[in-house]
Amino acid sequence: ALYQAKAAGRARSVLDDSGPDPLATELAAALAGDPVAAGLQVHYQGIVTLADGAVVGVEALARWAHPTLGPLSPARFIPLAEQTGLIGALGAHVLRTACADLADLHARTGRRLLLTVNVSGHQLCDPDFPDLVGAALAGTGWPAGSTVIEVTENLFEAESPAAVAALDTLREQGLSVAIDDFGTGYSSLARLDTLPADFLKLDHSFVSALTTSSKRARLMRSIMALSDALGLQLIAEGVETPAQADLLRSLGCLYAQGYHFSRPVPIAEVEALLDGAADPVPAVPPVRR
Ligand code: C2E
Ligand code: MG
Ligand code: MG
Ligand code: MG
């Protein structure tokens, strides 16, 4: 009887629960209205050259300062946006905001940082995406050559021709492409040479294991050789300790990102991360194969 009651309850809850997640409804309203007033923000985490710790770029990361629930992690609302088809609108908001913020920073400081923006599969494969990117750049004056689109390697497990075509188009528009979270998926090293990419972002789970095992350090050496051979620039993600930074530097890794250097911060705090030297040319010229 208990089992039947539970089953009935489950069935009823399945029937009753046909409406959308309330958070998705709020996200839709936020994006349709005033996203900033609704708490949708973009924070920036410095990308540094390991040799001197200088910030040469930033990754734009979505944030939701929810009016009642408090700060929500992207892990909470990005998958929701993907499931409900809101990721296009959310991604467009992040992209426009980031381009505007970085153009503004350039106008105030003379510093042109490299800007990286995360893009999910749905967004990338939308046929309108390259035009949307073009419009965001044109509308803010932010150059394509200083912009990097980050996609995860999982995107290529399905060998999606639409994804590859979109990345080709973006690169023709002058943007660069980074493979994010490298080392977490199953994308074979062998397939890397077929991906239209310029940067490889080594996942933080790999970086955190580096100093704990000499095998990992040796593996890192071969990943560096491989990315070199493929003309990819390596960015180590999630660097949290001086020991990790030292080891990566000694292995010859050029770029890094992580709490050891800076946490993601609002645009108003990015200026404080810069050393003040004007930088008229892009700090990291886009790499072309
Ligand atoms: P991601 O692109 O791999 O971004 C790096 C994540 O690592 C960020 O988490 C960042 O705050 C975190 N992180 C940075 N340094 C460290 C460190 O030293 N240690 C550790 N443990 N973590 C560090 P965040 O901001 O919570 O974002 C999570 C993920 O959400 C991102 O991973 C990205 O996949 C996704 N995401 C964020 N913003 C967007 C967006 O605008 N669009 C899309 N499609 N996805 C986004
Ligand atoms: Mg990323
Ligand atoms: Mg990552
Ligand atoms: Mg990640």
Distance 17 CA to ligand 3 centre (A): 34
pLDDT at residue 18 in the model? 59
pLDDT at 237 over 50: yes
Integer-rounded Cα Rg, in Å, for the chain is 21
Q: Which of 237, 248, 255, 265 to mutate to test the pocket of ligand 1 (most atoms within 8 A of CB)?
A: 237
Asked if residue 41 has pLDDT above 90, the reply is: yes
C-alpha span between 161 and 121 (Å, rounded): 12
pTM of the predicted protein model: 0.90
ipTM over 0.90 threshold: yes
Q: Return the percentage of the chain with pLDDT > 70, whole number.
A: 85
Q: Is 91 in the pocket of ligand 1 (CB under 6 A)?
A: yes
- Mean of the per-residue pLDDT values for the chain? 87
Percent over 90 (pLDDT), the chain: 68
How confident is the model over 140-179, as pLDDT tens digits? 999 999 999 999 877 776 668 888 899 999 999 999 999 9
Measure the CA–CA gap between 161 and 155, rounded to whole angstroms.
10
In which band, very low, low, confident or very high, does the pLDDT at 21 lie, cut at 50, 70 and 90? confident
| Structure tokens that stand for 53 in this block | 């710790």
256-280 pLDDT, tens per residue?
999 999 999 999 999 999 975 555 4
Q: What was the pLDDT predicted at 10?
A: 42
Q: Which residues pair with 115 in a beta bridge?
A: 58, 147
